[in-house]
Amino acid sequence: MFTGLIATTGKILQLEKRSGAARLTVETATLAPRLHEGDSIAVNGVCLTALGLEPTRFHADLAAETLARTTLGDLAPGTLVNLELPTPAGTPLGGHVVQGHVDATGTLLALDPVDPEAGPAATDWWLRIAVPPAVQPYVVEKGSIAIDGISLTVARWDGATLAVAIIPHTYSATHLHTLAPGARVNLEADVLMKLALEQQRAQQHASTLTLESLIARGY
């Protein structure tokens, strides 16, 4: 489990396409020494298994499902990515519960400074994302969402486009400062919202079955 608090950024060194899969190589002098073979690590919000460890880099295999559902297959050498290690049990949750299981990709519409004259280190930013239909039911204003692994709060929501406020630290400490409009980003809806909606649907289904059974019996 992750919390969406990015530890550092890494750099893509290679994406080797294979039959139905791929192998990713990520450079991170900060986190590579802390990894053990088989450890989990989130790369742009995708939970991967660290393999082939080296002093400043790690490798990770990407399954066909990962390539189809996330942006990882698009990553070019030199691209910055957000990295996070799993949260140890008993650690305070600074963000929200993030599984590293991406639901779908969204499209970056804009990343605009609130005060263009203040400079990147002194202004907040408005990030706007077009959300695909598969994720829309789980988005609510003031709810949580992970965007490329970053735990963010939905500030505005119109049913298809969300906006979040980005503070200067998040803008500079993550890969957000490298993105341009049109970029695809990984979206993971809040798992608690997913569970709540699934429970609601199950209850509605049970109520419908009960009503239908009563009608069938002539009540």
Q: Please list the active-site residues.
A: 2, 40, 47, 49, 63, 101, 153
Q: Hey, what amino acid is at 142?
A: K
Cβ atoms within 10 A of the Cβ of 41, count?
25
Alpha helices in the chain (DSSP H): 64-69, 168-173, 191-216
How are beta strands 104-113 and 80-84 bridged, if at all?
Answer: unpaired
Q: Count Cα atoms within 13 angstroms, Cβ side, for 98.
A: 35
Question: Rounded CA gap, 218 and 102, in Å?
Answer: 47
Q: Hey, what amino acid is at 89?
A: A
